[in-house]
Structure 1
Amino acid sequence: MNSRDTSKRPAVFPIGSFDAQSIENALALMGPKWTTWTVMTMVQEGRPLRVRDVAARLPFVSEQLVGKRLATMHTAGLVIRADTRRGAPYQLSTLGESLTPVHRTMADWSRTYLSSGATAEAERVEDAVQRLRLRHTTAMVQVLDAGGPMRFVHIAEQAGLDYAFTQHRLLRLQADGLVTRTGTRHGDPYVLTEAGQALGPVYATVEHWSAPLVTRWTPAPPAPIATAQRTHSGVPLGADGARTAAALRRSAAAPTSLFNHAPQPQPRVSASVTVQSAPGRSR
Protein backbone atom coordinates (compact mmCIF):
# COMPACT_ATOMS: atom_id res chain seq x y z
CA MET A 1 0.00 0.00 0.00
CA ASN A 2 2.71 2.43 0.96
CA SER A 3 4.78 1.68 -2.14
CA ARG A 4 1.70 2.17 -4.34
CA ASP A 5 1.00 5.55 -2.74
CA THR A 6 4.61 6.63 -3.20
CA SER A 7 4.56 5.74 -6.88
CA LYS A 8 1.62 8.10 -7.41
CA ARG A 9 3.35 11.11 -5.93
CA PRO A 10 4.43 13.77 -8.43
CA ALA A 11 8.13 13.99 -9.31
CA VAL A 12 10.10 16.37 -7.11
CA PHE A 13 12.69 18.69 -8.65
CA PRO A 14 14.75 20.45 -5.96
CA ILE A 15 15.19 24.09 -6.96
CA GLY A 16 18.82 24.09 -5.90
CA SER A 17 19.73 21.17 -8.17
CA PHE A 18 19.65 23.15 -11.43
CA ASP A 19 22.30 25.18 -13.22
CA ALA A 20 21.16 28.77 -12.84
CA GLN A 21 23.24 30.07 -15.74
CA SER A 22 21.79 27.52 -18.20
CA ILE A 23 18.27 28.45 -17.13
CA GLU A 24 19.04 32.16 -17.45
CA ASN A 25 20.48 31.67 -20.95
CA ALA A 26 17.52 29.57 -22.06
CA LEU A 27 15.02 32.13 -20.78
CA ALA A 28 16.93 34.83 -22.65
CA LEU A 29 16.24 32.99 -25.91
CA MET A 30 12.56 32.69 -25.04
CA GLY A 31 12.28 36.18 -23.61
CA PRO A 32 11.96 38.64 -26.52
CA LYS A 33 8.33 39.77 -26.69
CA TRP A 34 6.10 37.88 -29.16
CA THR A 35 8.49 34.91 -29.36
CA THR A 36 6.01 32.61 -27.62
CA TRP A 37 3.08 33.85 -29.73
CA THR A 38 5.10 33.21 -32.89
CA VAL A 39 6.21 29.72 -31.84
CA MET A 40 2.67 28.69 -30.87
CA THR A 41 1.28 30.03 -34.13
CA MET A 42 3.79 28.02 -36.13
CA VAL A 43 3.10 24.90 -34.05
CA GLN A 44 -0.61 25.22 -34.78
CA GLU A 45 -0.14 25.72 -38.50
CA GLY A 46 2.37 22.90 -38.81
CA ARG A 47 3.87 24.22 -42.08
CA PRO A 48 6.39 26.84 -43.26
CA LEU A 49 5.04 30.39 -42.96
CA ARG A 50 6.13 33.67 -44.46
CA VAL A 51 6.31 36.80 -42.34
CA ARG A 52 2.97 38.04 -43.66
CA ASP A 53 1.35 34.68 -42.82
CA VAL A 54 2.44 34.89 -39.19
CA ALA A 55 1.44 38.56 -38.97
CA ALA A 56 -2.02 37.74 -40.32
CA ARG A 57 -2.54 35.40 -37.37
CA LEU A 58 -1.28 37.97 -34.85
CA PRO A 59 -3.41 41.01 -35.72
CA PHE A 60 -2.14 43.02 -32.75
CA VAL A 61 1.51 42.87 -33.94
CA SER A 62 2.79 44.78 -36.96
CA GLU A 63 4.22 42.83 -39.89
CA GLN A 64 7.49 44.72 -39.50
CA LEU A 65 7.82 43.62 -35.88
CA VAL A 66 6.94 40.02 -36.77
CA GLY A 67 9.73 40.11 -39.37
CA LYS A 68 12.23 41.39 -36.82
CA ARG A 69 11.17 38.78 -34.29
CA LEU A 70 11.49 35.92 -36.80
CA ALA A 71 14.96 37.18 -37.73
CA THR A 72 15.95 37.14 -34.05
CA MET A 73 14.52 33.64 -33.64
CA HIS A 74 16.46 32.52 -36.72
CA THR A 75 19.70 33.76 -35.17
CA ALA A 76 18.80 31.97 -31.91
CA GLY A 77 18.15 28.71 -33.77
CA LEU A 78 14.41 28.52 -33.03
CA VAL A 79 13.40 28.74 -36.70
CA ILE A 80 15.04 27.82 -40.01
CA ARG A 81 14.52 28.79 -43.65
CA ALA A 82 14.53 26.49 -46.66
CA ASP A 83 16.75 28.89 -48.62
CA THR A 84 18.20 32.38 -48.52
CA ARG A 85 15.77 34.01 -50.96
CA ARG A 86 14.15 37.22 -49.83
CA GLY A 87 10.72 36.35 -48.44
CA ALA A 88 11.49 32.63 -48.05
CA PRO A 89 9.19 31.02 -45.46
CA TYR A 90 10.22 30.12 -41.94
CA GLN A 91 9.56 26.92 -40.07
CA LEU A 92 10.34 25.79 -36.56
CA SER A 93 13.64 24.05 -35.99
CA THR A 94 13.85 20.94 -33.85
CA LEU A 95 14.81 23.24 -30.98
CA GLY A 96 11.78 25.45 -31.58
CA GLU A 97 9.41 22.49 -31.80
CA SER A 98 10.75 21.14 -28.50
CA LEU A 99 9.48 24.26 -26.69
CA THR A 100 5.98 22.76 -26.47
CA PRO A 101 6.50 20.97 -23.10
CA VAL A 102 8.23 24.07 -21.71
CA HIS A 103 5.25 26.22 -22.68
CA ARG A 104 2.82 23.72 -21.19
CA THR A 105 4.67 23.58 -17.85
CA MET A 106 4.95 27.36 -17.61
CA ALA A 107 1.27 27.82 -18.45
CA ASP A 108 0.27 25.29 -15.78
CA TRP A 109 2.48 27.02 -13.19
CA SER A 110 1.05 30.43 -14.07
CA ARG A 111 -2.55 29.19 -14.02
CA THR A 112 -2.11 27.49 -10.64
CA TYR A 113 -0.10 30.08 -8.74
CA LEU A 114 -0.46 33.46 -10.47
CA SER A 115 -3.79 33.89 -12.22
CA SER A 116 -6.60 31.47 -12.97
CA GLY A 117 -8.54 33.91 -15.13
CA ALA A 118 -9.28 33.57 -18.84
CA THR A 119 -6.00 34.44 -20.56
CA ALA A 120 -4.60 33.35 -23.90
CA GLU A 121 -2.07 30.56 -23.39
CA ALA A 122 0.68 32.43 -25.25
CA GLU A 123 0.21 35.55 -23.12
CA ARG A 124 0.32 33.44 -19.96
CA VAL A 125 3.62 31.86 -21.01
CA GLU A 126 5.20 35.15 -22.07
CA ASP A 127 4.22 36.68 -18.74
CA ALA A 128 5.83 33.76 -16.89
CA VAL A 129 9.03 34.13 -18.89
CA GLN A 130 9.24 37.84 -18.08
CA ARG A 131 8.91 37.09 -14.36
CA LEU A 132 11.75 34.57 -14.45
CA ARG A 133 14.27 35.79 -17.02
CA LEU A 134 16.04 38.67 -15.25
CA ARG A 135 19.72 38.21 -14.41
CA HIS A 136 20.44 36.37 -11.15
CA THR A 137 16.74 35.75 -10.45
CA THR A 138 17.24 31.98 -10.49
CA ALA A 139 20.28 32.19 -8.20
CA MET A 140 18.38 34.32 -5.67
CA VAL A 141 15.39 31.97 -5.74
CA GLN A 142 17.79 29.08 -5.06
CA VAL A 143 19.34 30.93 -2.12
CA LEU A 144 15.95 31.61 -0.55
CA ASP A 145 14.78 28.04 -1.19
CA ALA A 146 17.82 26.68 0.62
CA GLY A 147 18.05 29.12 3.52
CA GLY A 148 14.94 31.28 3.81
CA PRO A 149 13.66 33.29 5.61
CA MET A 150 16.69 35.52 5.02
CA ARG A 151 17.53 39.21 5.31
CA PHE A 152 18.62 40.86 2.08
CA VAL A 153 22.23 41.21 3.24
CA HIS A 154 22.50 37.46 3.70
CA ILE A 155 20.83 36.84 0.32
CA ALA A 156 23.42 39.13 -1.29
CA GLU A 157 26.30 37.34 0.41
CA GLN A 158 25.04 33.86 -0.47
CA ALA A 159 24.37 34.81 -4.11
CA GLY A 160 27.65 36.70 -4.49
CA LEU A 161 25.91 39.97 -5.41
CA ASP A 162 26.28 43.53 -4.17
CA TYR A 163 23.72 45.00 -1.79
CA ALA A 164 22.23 47.61 -4.12
CA PHE A 165 21.61 45.09 -6.89
CA THR A 166 20.08 42.60 -4.46
CA GLN A 167 17.66 45.19 -3.06
CA HIS A 168 16.59 46.19 -6.58
CA ARG A 169 16.07 42.59 -7.68
CA LEU A 170 14.12 41.72 -4.52
CA LEU A 171 11.69 44.57 -5.25
CA ARG A 172 11.10 43.12 -8.71
CA LEU A 173 10.71 39.58 -7.35
CA GLN A 174 8.10 40.88 -4.91
CA ALA A 175 6.20 42.64 -7.70
CA ASP A 176 6.32 39.43 -9.73
CA GLY A 177 4.85 37.35 -6.91
CA LEU A 178 7.89 35.14 -6.34
CA VAL A 179 9.15 36.61 -3.04
CA THR A 180 7.51 38.26 -0.04
CA ARG A 181 8.67 39.73 3.27
CA THR A 182 7.81 38.28 6.63
CA GLY A 183 6.97 41.70 8.06
CA THR A 184 6.61 45.38 7.23
CA ARG A 185 9.69 46.69 9.04
CA HIS A 186 12.90 47.53 7.22
CA GLY A 187 15.23 44.55 7.48
CA ASP A 188 12.52 41.92 7.91
CA PRO A 189 13.51 38.63 6.24
CA TYR A 190 12.35 37.53 2.79
CA VAL A 191 10.82 34.18 1.86
CA LEU A 192 9.62 32.54 -1.33
CA THR A 193 5.92 32.72 -2.05
CA GLU A 194 3.99 29.58 -2.95
CA ALA A 195 4.61 30.41 -6.61
CA GLY A 196 8.34 30.69 -5.96
CA GLN A 197 8.44 27.41 -4.06
CA ALA A 198 6.71 25.66 -6.98
CA LEU A 199 9.33 26.57 -9.60
CA GLY A 200 11.08 23.18 -9.56
CA PRO A 201 9.15 21.64 -12.50
CA VAL A 202 9.51 24.88 -14.49
CA TYR A 203 13.27 24.96 -14.01
CA ALA A 204 13.44 21.25 -14.84
CA THR A 205 11.72 21.64 -18.21
CA VAL A 206 13.72 24.75 -19.10
CA GLU A 207 17.06 23.15 -18.27
CA HIS A 208 16.12 19.95 -20.11
CA TRP A 209 15.20 22.01 -23.18
CA SER A 210 18.48 23.94 -22.99
CA ALA A 211 20.69 20.83 -22.81
CA PRO A 212 21.58 20.80 -26.56
CA LEU A 213 22.76 24.41 -26.26
CA VAL A 214 25.16 24.01 -23.35
CA THR A 215 28.24 23.88 -25.58
CA ARG A 216 27.20 27.16 -27.22
CA TRP A 217 27.17 28.84 -23.81
CA THR A 218 30.44 27.43 -22.43
CA PRO A 219 32.30 30.58 -21.33
CA ALA A 220 35.99 31.29 -21.93
CA PRO A 221 38.21 31.09 -18.83
CA PRO A 222 37.84 34.35 -16.89
CA ALA A 223 40.73 36.77 -16.79
CA PRO A 224 42.51 36.85 -13.41
CA ILE A 225 41.51 39.68 -11.10
CA ALA A 226 44.44 41.04 -9.15
CA THR A 227 42.54 42.89 -6.45
CA ALA A 228 38.84 42.65 -5.63
CA GLN A 229 37.07 45.98 -5.37
CA ARG A 230 34.64 46.39 -2.53
CA THR A 231 31.66 48.59 -1.87
CA HIS A 232 31.16 50.52 1.35
CA SER A 233 29.24 47.47 2.54
CA GLY A 234 32.22 45.17 2.08
CA VAL A 235 30.68 42.98 -0.64
CA PRO A 236 33.05 42.05 -3.53
CA LEU A 237 32.08 43.75 -6.78
CA GLY A 238 34.55 42.16 -9.21
CA ALA A 239 33.55 41.28 -12.80
CA ASP A 240 29.98 40.23 -13.55
CA GLY A 241 31.20 36.80 -14.61
CA ALA A 242 32.96 36.30 -11.28
CA ARG A 243 29.80 37.17 -9.33
CA THR A 244 27.72 34.88 -11.50
CA ALA A 245 30.17 32.02 -11.02
CA ALA A 246 29.99 32.51 -7.26
CA ALA A 247 26.23 32.43 -7.40
CA LEU A 248 26.23 29.22 -9.39
CA ARG A 249 28.71 27.13 -7.42
CA ARG A 250 25.77 25.56 -5.60
CA SER A 251 24.30 24.22 -8.84
CA ALA A 252 24.38 20.53 -9.74
CA ALA A 253 23.31 18.51 -12.75
CA ALA A 254 19.56 18.12 -13.37
CA PRO A 255 17.78 14.83 -14.06
CA THR A 256 18.18 13.77 -17.70
CA SER A 257 14.68 12.32 -18.04
CA LEU A 258 11.95 14.76 -17.11
CA PHE A 259 8.78 13.84 -18.96
CA ASN A 260 6.64 10.81 -18.28
CA HIS A 261 3.70 11.83 -20.44
CA ALA A 262 3.21 12.42 -24.13
CA PRO A 263 3.18 16.08 -25.26
CA GLN A 264 -0.29 17.52 -25.65
CA PRO A 265 -1.19 19.91 -28.48
CA GLN A 266 -1.08 23.59 -27.62
CA PRO A 267 -4.52 25.26 -27.49
CA ARG A 268 -5.27 27.37 -30.59
CA VAL A 269 -4.86 31.10 -30.26
CA SER A 270 -7.99 32.46 -31.89
CA ALA A 271 -8.34 36.08 -32.92
CA SER A 272 -11.18 36.67 -30.49
CA VAL A 273 -9.14 35.43 -27.54
CA THR A 274 -6.01 37.31 -28.48
CA VAL A 275 -7.86 40.59 -28.89
CA GLN A 276 -9.55 40.21 -25.50
CA SER A 277 -6.32 39.33 -23.73
CA ALA A 278 -3.97 41.56 -25.69
CA PRO A 279 -0.95 42.38 -23.56
CA GLY A 280 -2.36 42.82 -20.08
CA ARG A 281 1.07 43.11 -18.44
CA SER A 282 3.79 45.45 -19.60
CA ARG A 283 7.45 44.76 -19.00
Structure 2
Amino acid sequence: MPVSILVQPSASSIGSVDAHRVEDALSLIAPKWTTWSAQTLAQQGHPMRVRDVAARLSFISEHLVGKRLAQMHADGLVTRADDRRGAPYQLSALGDSLSRVHRALSDWSQTNLSLGAIAGAERVEDAVRRLHLRHSTAVIQVLDTGGPMRFVRIAEEAGLDNSLTQQRLNRLQADGLVARTGPRHGDPYILTDAGRALGPVYAAIEHWSNAATRKRSVPPAPATAATRTHTGVPLGADGIRTAAALRRNTAAPSALFSHAPQAQPRVLAAVTALSAASRGR
Protein backbone atom coordinates (compact mmCIF):
# COMPACT_ATOMS: atom_id res chain seq x y z
CA MET A 1 0.00 0.00 0.00
CA PRO A 2 1.49 3.41 -0.95
CA VAL A 3 2.58 5.63 1.91
CA SER A 4 1.18 9.12 2.24
CA ILE A 5 3.74 11.74 1.23
CA LEU A 6 2.37 14.42 3.51
CA VAL A 7 5.36 15.54 5.58
CA GLN A 8 4.97 17.48 8.79
CA PRO A 9 7.89 19.47 10.16
CA SER A 10 9.73 17.95 13.12
CA ALA A 11 8.85 19.23 16.59
CA SER A 12 12.58 19.66 17.25
CA SER A 13 15.06 20.31 14.48
CA ILE A 14 16.79 17.11 13.38
CA GLY A 15 18.86 18.97 10.83
CA SER A 16 20.46 21.32 13.35
CA VAL A 17 22.37 18.64 15.27
CA ASP A 18 25.96 17.61 14.52
CA ALA A 19 25.54 14.11 13.07
CA HIS A 20 29.13 13.07 13.77
CA ARG A 21 28.93 14.22 17.37
CA VAL A 22 25.63 12.41 17.88
CA GLU A 23 26.97 9.17 16.43
CA ASP A 24 30.20 9.39 18.43
CA ALA A 25 28.10 9.73 21.58
CA LEU A 26 25.85 6.84 20.59
CA SER A 27 28.92 4.64 20.08
CA LEU A 28 29.72 4.97 23.79
CA ILE A 29 26.33 3.65 24.91
CA ALA A 30 25.58 1.27 22.03
CA PRO A 31 27.47 -1.85 23.26
CA LYS A 32 25.03 -4.43 24.60
CA TRP A 33 24.47 -4.31 28.39
CA THR A 34 25.95 -0.80 28.82
CA THR A 35 22.59 0.66 29.79
CA TRP A 36 21.79 -2.30 32.07
CA SER A 37 25.14 -1.87 33.85
CA ALA A 38 24.81 1.91 34.18
CA GLN A 39 21.29 1.72 35.55
CA THR A 40 22.21 -1.02 38.00
CA LEU A 41 24.96 1.19 39.42
CA ALA A 42 22.56 4.15 39.55
CA GLN A 43 19.82 2.15 41.22
CA GLN A 44 22.10 0.79 43.93
CA GLY A 45 23.70 4.19 44.54
CA HIS A 46 27.09 2.98 45.81
CA PRO A 47 30.34 1.50 44.41
CA MET A 48 29.90 -2.10 43.29
CA ARG A 49 32.27 -4.89 42.39
CA VAL A 50 31.81 -6.79 39.16
CA ARG A 51 30.35 -9.79 40.97
CA ASP A 52 27.79 -7.57 42.72
CA VAL A 53 26.61 -6.04 39.43
CA ALA A 54 26.48 -9.50 37.85
CA ALA A 55 24.42 -10.81 40.78
CA ARG A 56 21.73 -8.24 39.95
CA LEU A 57 21.89 -9.02 36.23
CA SER A 58 21.88 -12.79 36.49
CA PHE A 59 21.02 -13.22 32.80
CA ILE A 60 24.50 -11.84 31.95
CA SER A 61 27.70 -13.73 32.74
CA GLU A 62 30.07 -12.18 35.28
CA HIS A 63 32.82 -12.26 32.67
CA LEU A 64 30.77 -10.18 30.26
CA VAL A 65 29.78 -7.73 33.00
CA GLY A 66 33.47 -7.30 33.81
CA LYS A 67 34.34 -6.61 30.18
CA ARG A 68 31.51 -4.11 29.83
CA LEU A 69 32.45 -2.22 33.01
CA ALA A 70 36.10 -2.13 31.92
CA GLN A 71 35.08 -0.56 28.61
CA MET A 72 32.78 1.89 30.36
CA HIS A 73 35.73 2.83 32.59
CA ALA A 74 37.90 3.46 29.52
CA ASP A 75 35.12 5.61 28.06
CA GLY A 76 34.73 7.66 31.25
CA LEU A 77 31.25 6.42 32.16
CA VAL A 78 32.37 4.80 35.42
CA THR A 79 35.22 5.35 37.86
CA ARG A 80 37.00 3.25 40.44
CA ALA A 81 39.09 4.26 43.45
CA ASP A 82 42.17 2.39 42.21
CA ASP A 83 43.28 -0.23 39.71
CA ARG A 84 43.44 -3.13 42.15
CA ARG A 85 41.89 -6.32 40.90
CA GLY A 86 38.32 -6.40 42.18
CA ALA A 87 38.15 -2.69 43.01
CA PRO A 88 34.52 -1.50 42.84
CA TYR A 89 33.02 0.68 40.12
CA GLN A 90 30.62 3.57 40.37
CA LEU A 91 29.12 5.97 37.87
CA SER A 92 31.22 8.98 36.97
CA ALA A 93 29.64 12.41 36.66
CA LEU A 94 29.42 11.71 32.93
CA GLY A 95 27.68 8.40 33.55
CA ASP A 96 25.26 10.08 35.94
CA SER A 97 24.41 12.64 33.30
CA LEU A 98 23.10 9.93 30.95
CA SER A 99 19.72 10.39 32.66
CA ARG A 100 18.40 12.81 30.05
CA VAL A 101 19.53 10.61 27.15
CA HIS A 102 17.99 7.48 28.64
CA ARG A 103 14.72 9.28 29.29
CA ALA A 104 14.57 10.74 25.77
CA LEU A 105 15.24 7.34 24.18
CA SER A 106 12.71 5.60 26.41
CA ASP A 107 10.00 8.20 25.81
CA TRP A 108 10.55 8.09 22.05
CA SER A 109 10.39 4.29 22.06
CA GLN A 110 7.22 4.16 24.16
CA THR A 111 5.46 6.66 21.91
CA ASN A 112 6.58 5.37 18.51
CA LEU A 113 7.42 1.67 18.75
CA SER A 114 5.25 -1.33 19.53
CA LEU A 115 7.54 -3.52 21.62
CA GLY A 116 5.12 -4.92 24.17
CA ALA A 117 6.23 -5.60 27.73
CA ILE A 118 9.89 -4.65 27.93
CA ALA A 119 12.26 -3.50 30.66
CA GLY A 120 13.25 0.16 30.63
CA ALA A 121 16.94 -0.60 30.10
CA GLU A 122 16.19 -2.96 27.21
CA ARG A 123 13.91 -0.34 25.66
CA VAL A 124 16.80 2.14 25.70
CA GLU A 125 19.25 -0.36 24.23
CA ASP A 126 16.78 -1.31 21.49
CA ALA A 127 16.41 2.37 20.56
CA VAL A 128 20.17 2.88 20.45
CA ARG A 129 20.58 -0.14 18.17
CA ARG A 130 18.23 1.54 15.68
CA LEU A 131 20.19 4.79 15.65
CA HIS A 132 23.88 4.19 16.23
CA LEU A 133 25.17 3.07 12.82
CA ARG A 134 27.51 5.58 11.20
CA HIS A 135 25.82 7.85 8.62
CA SER A 136 22.29 6.84 9.62
CA THR A 137 21.83 10.26 11.19
CA ALA A 138 22.91 11.99 7.97
CA VAL A 139 20.31 10.07 5.94
CA ILE A 140 17.59 10.91 8.47
CA GLN A 141 18.61 14.59 8.39
CA VAL A 142 18.41 14.70 4.59
CA LEU A 143 14.93 13.19 4.57
CA ASP A 144 13.76 15.43 7.40
CA THR A 145 14.82 18.49 5.43
CA GLY A 146 13.86 17.51 1.90
CA GLY A 147 11.70 14.38 1.77
CA PRO A 148 10.05 12.74 -0.10
CA MET A 149 13.30 12.06 -1.93
CA ARG A 150 14.61 9.53 -4.42
CA PHE A 151 17.55 7.30 -3.64
CA VAL A 152 20.12 9.08 -5.84
CA ARG A 153 19.26 12.47 -4.37
CA ILE A 154 19.58 11.11 -0.82
CA ALA A 155 23.07 9.81 -1.61
CA GLU A 156 24.09 13.15 -3.10
CA GLU A 157 22.74 15.22 -0.23
CA ALA A 158 24.22 12.94 2.45
CA GLY A 159 27.59 12.75 0.68
CA LEU A 160 27.55 8.94 0.63
CA ASP A 161 28.18 6.41 -2.12
CA ASN A 162 25.22 4.54 -3.53
CA SER A 163 26.06 1.23 -1.88
CA LEU A 164 26.31 2.65 1.63
CA THR A 165 23.21 4.77 1.12
CA GLN A 166 21.22 1.71 0.12
CA GLN A 167 22.48 -0.21 3.14
CA ARG A 168 21.45 2.56 5.48
CA LEU A 169 18.03 2.99 3.86
CA ASN A 170 17.39 -0.75 4.08
CA ARG A 171 18.32 -0.78 7.75
CA LEU A 172 16.27 2.32 8.54
CA GLN A 173 13.28 0.80 6.76
CA ALA A 174 13.65 -2.42 8.74
CA ASP A 175 13.80 -0.39 11.95
CA GLY A 176 10.65 1.57 11.12
CA LEU A 177 12.30 4.97 10.67
CA VAL A 178 12.08 5.30 6.87
CA ALA A 179 9.44 4.18 4.36
CA ARG A 180 8.95 4.15 0.60
CA THR A 181 6.09 6.15 -0.84
CA GLY A 182 5.17 3.32 -3.21
CA PRO A 183 6.04 -0.26 -4.18
CA ARG A 184 7.91 0.50 -7.41
CA HIS A 185 11.66 0.68 -7.78
CA GLY A 186 12.64 4.33 -7.67
CA ASP A 187 9.70 5.50 -5.58
CA PRO A 188 10.82 8.23 -3.16
CA TYR A 189 11.61 7.68 0.50
CA ILE A 190 10.19 9.57 3.49
CA LEU A 191 10.61 9.48 7.24
CA THR A 192 7.98 7.63 9.19
CA ASP A 193 6.29 9.22 12.20
CA ALA A 194 8.93 7.54 14.39
CA GLY A 195 11.72 9.02 12.28
CA ARG A 196 10.24 12.51 12.34
CA ALA A 197 9.90 12.30 16.13
CA LEU A 198 13.66 11.90 16.69
CA GLY A 199 14.36 15.61 17.20
CA PRO A 200 14.25 15.57 21.04
CA VAL A 201 16.33 12.37 21.09
CA TYR A 202 19.09 13.86 18.96
CA ALA A 203 19.01 17.08 20.98
CA ALA A 204 19.46 15.17 24.24
CA ILE A 205 22.32 13.09 22.82
CA GLU A 206 24.12 16.14 21.42
CA HIS A 207 23.72 17.97 24.73
CA TRP A 208 25.21 15.00 26.56
CA SER A 209 28.05 14.79 24.02
CA ASN A 210 28.92 18.44 24.62
CA ALA A 211 29.04 17.73 28.35
CA ALA A 212 31.24 14.71 27.70
CA THR A 213 33.70 16.86 25.77
CA ARG A 214 33.88 19.38 28.60
CA LYS A 215 34.32 16.71 31.26
CA ARG A 216 37.10 14.99 29.34
CA SER A 217 39.00 18.26 29.04
CA VAL A 218 39.71 18.32 32.79
CA PRO A 219 41.35 15.66 35.01
CA PRO A 220 38.79 13.26 36.56
CA ALA A 221 37.96 13.80 40.21
CA PRO A 222 38.82 10.98 42.66
CA ALA A 223 36.04 8.44 43.01
CA THR A 224 33.94 8.77 46.15
CA ALA A 225 31.14 6.81 47.73
CA ALA A 226 28.66 9.65 47.36
CA THR A 227 25.11 8.69 46.54
CA ARG A 228 24.45 8.62 42.80
CA THR A 229 21.29 9.84 41.15
CA HIS A 230 19.10 7.47 39.19
CA THR A 231 19.60 7.49 35.43
CA GLY A 232 15.92 8.12 34.85
CA VAL A 233 14.59 4.87 33.36
CA PRO A 234 13.94 2.10 35.93
CA LEU A 235 15.32 -1.25 34.88
CA GLY A 236 11.91 -2.83 35.07
CA ALA A 237 9.68 0.15 34.40
CA ASP A 238 7.56 -1.63 31.78
CA GLY A 239 8.07 -5.19 32.90
CA ILE A 240 10.69 -7.40 31.34
CA ARG A 241 10.85 -8.72 27.82
CA THR A 242 12.62 -11.92 28.67
CA ALA A 243 13.35 -12.95 25.11
CA ALA A 244 15.40 -9.79 24.62
CA ALA A 245 17.44 -10.07 27.79
CA LEU A 246 17.83 -13.71 28.79
CA ARG A 247 21.18 -15.36 28.18
CA ARG A 248 20.95 -18.02 30.84
CA ASN A 249 18.16 -19.77 32.72
CA THR A 250 18.87 -18.06 36.02
CA ALA A 251 15.98 -15.91 37.23
CA ALA A 252 16.67 -12.19 37.59
CA PRO A 253 16.20 -10.62 41.04
CA SER A 254 12.69 -9.32 41.60
CA ALA A 255 13.99 -5.95 42.80
CA LEU A 256 14.96 -5.10 39.21
CA PHE A 257 12.23 -6.80 37.19
CA SER A 258 8.48 -7.01 37.25
CA HIS A 259 8.56 -10.79 36.97
CA ALA A 260 11.21 -13.48 36.73
CA PRO A 261 12.30 -14.35 33.16
CA GLN A 262 11.97 -17.79 31.65
CA ALA A 263 14.30 -19.52 29.22
CA GLN A 264 14.12 -17.98 25.73
CA PRO A 265 16.12 -17.94 22.46
CA ARG A 266 19.33 -15.95 22.13
CA VAL A 267 18.93 -12.21 22.57
CA LEU A 268 19.77 -10.94 19.11
CA ALA A 269 17.50 -13.42 17.35
CA ALA A 270 14.57 -12.42 19.53
CA VAL A 271 15.14 -8.71 19.14
CA THR A 272 15.56 -9.10 15.40
CA ALA A 273 12.34 -11.04 15.10
CA LEU A 274 10.40 -8.23 16.76
CA SER A 275 11.50 -5.54 14.35
CA ALA A 276 13.13 -6.91 11.21
CA ALA A 277 15.24 -9.85 10.23
CA SER A 278 17.92 -7.60 8.75
CA ARG A 279 18.54 -5.59 11.87
CA GLY A 280 21.77 -6.33 13.72
CA ARG A 281 24.53 -4.70 15.70
Alignment TM class, shorter chain as reference: 0.7 to 0.9
**In the TM superposition, what is the alpha-carbon distance from 1:20 to its structure 2 partner?**
0.4
Equivalent residue in structure 1 for 2:271, among 274, 278, 281 = 281
Identity of aligned residues (%): 62
Residue 266 (structure 1) aligned with residue 222 (structure 2) = no
For 2:58 and 2:209, locate their aligned partners in 1 and report how far apart those are by CA, in whole Å: 31
Structure 2 unaligned blocks of 5 or more: 1-9, 218-229, 237-255, 273-279
AA of the residue aligned to 1:158: E
Q: Secondary structure at the match of 1:80?
A: strand
Cα deviation per residue 1:134-153 (whole Å; 9 max; x = unaligned)?
A: 01011110000000000110
Q: How far has the Cα of 1:266 moved from its partner? A: 3.1
1:123 to 1:131, Cα distance in 2 relative to 1, 3 A? same
Structure 1: gaps spanning 5 or more residues: 1-10, 219-262
Q: Quote the residue 2:176 is aligned against.
A: 177
Aligned to 1:112: 111
1:136-215 to structure 2, matched below 5 A, reads 136-214=135-213
**TM-score between the two structures when normalised by the length of structure 1:** 0.76
RMSD: 2.4
Counterpart of 1:248?
none
Deviations 1:152-173 (A, max 9, x none): 1000000000001111110000
- Structure 2 length-normalised TM: 0.77
For residues 1-36 of structure 1, what are the alpha-carbon distances to aligned partners after superposition, in whole Å with 9 as ceiling and x for unaligned?
A: xxxxxxxxxx94211010000000000001000000
- Tell me if structure 2 keeps the 8 A contact 1:22–1:214: no
**Inter-partner Cα distance in structure 2 for 1:128 and 1:172:** 13
- Return closer, same or farther for 1:272/1:59 CA change in 2, 3 Å cut-off: farther
Contact 2:98 2:231 in 1 (8 A): no
Distance 1:214 1:96 in 2: 13
TM-fit CA distance, 1:274:
6.8
Instruction: State the match for 2:126 in structure 1.
Output: 127
- Tell me how far apart the structure 2 counterparts of residues 274 and 94 of structure 1 sit (CA, whole Å): 32
User: Is the CA contact (8 Å cut-off) linking 2:181 and 2:187 kept in structure 1?
Assistant: yes
1:27 corresponds to 2:26: yes
- For residue 86 of structure 1, what is the aligned residue in structure 2? 85
| 1:268 Cα deviation after fit | 4.2
The 1:176–1:21 alpha-carbon spacing in structure 2 relative to 1, beyond 3 Å, is same
Deviation at 1:117, TM superposition (A): 2.0
Report the Cα distance in structure 1 between the residues aligned to 2:235 and 2:117, rounded to whole angstroms: 14
